Amino acid sequence: MRLRIRIVALLLAASLLASAKTETLQELIAREEAAKVEDRPALCTEIAERQLKAADELYTAGKEDEAQAAVKDVVTYSEKAHDAAIQSGKKLKNTEIDFRKMAAKLRDIKRSLNFDDQAPVQAAADRLESLRTDLLSHMFGKGK
């Protein structure tokens, strides 16, 4: 009997893990919209990171307009993550580190683009840096 319960529990855990891995962007966005404020920084950051990866792939595929829309999403969801982190006072450090890494990725993407396409990507990197600086100010009490 115990063995059966263990097997069922393992199967359940495996299916949960599999569903988490295959969660689409739309599902993730829906989850974020329904989430508690303290869970939003991580969810919004995950959405931003996914869109950043998508932007990179779209630029590589020569789909500049779609790539720019994805970059815009990166900024939008980073702003949401920033606001939720400040509102809840949770995940400030993790969010700050994630912003730092995303800004680095954006700068790296920018370097691979034609001069005409660089400005919005640089602007997004700058915006993330500014959000990051603001989080740091809150972490040290200046922004309270």
Using the rule CB under 8 A, which residue among 7, 14, 111, 137 binds another protein?
Answer: 111
CB-facing half-sphere around the CA of 87: CA atoms within 13 A: 12
Shortest approach of another protein to residue 111 CB, angstroms?
6
Distance CA 70, CA 93 (A): 25
Shortest approach of another protein to residue 140 CB, angstroms?
7
Residue 63 gets which letter from DSSP?
Answer: -
Using the rule CB under 8 A, which residue among 140, 141, 142, 144 binds another protein?
Answer: 140
Q: What does R_g of the chain's alpha carbons equal in angstroms?
A: 18
Q: Which stretch binds another protein (CB under 8 A): 12-20, 36-44, 63-71, 107-115?
A: 107-115
Q: Is the dihedral of CA 51, 53, 55, 58 positive or negative?
A: negative
Question: Pattern of binders to another protein over 77-106, x per CB under 8 A?
Answer: --------------------x--xx-xxx-
Distance CA 135, CA 128 (A): 10
**Cβ neighbours of 33 (radius 10 Å):** 10
Using the rule CB under 8 A, which residue among 38, 79, 117, 129 binds another protein?
Answer: 129
Q: Which of 127, 97, 121 is nearest to 109 (CA)?
A: 121
Of residues 45-84, those binding another protein (CB under 8 A) = none
Q: How many amino acids of this chain bind another protein (CB under 8 A)?
A: 17
Interface ranges with another protein (CB under 8 A):
97, 100-101, 103-105, 107-108, 111-112, 122, 125-126, 129, 136, 139-140
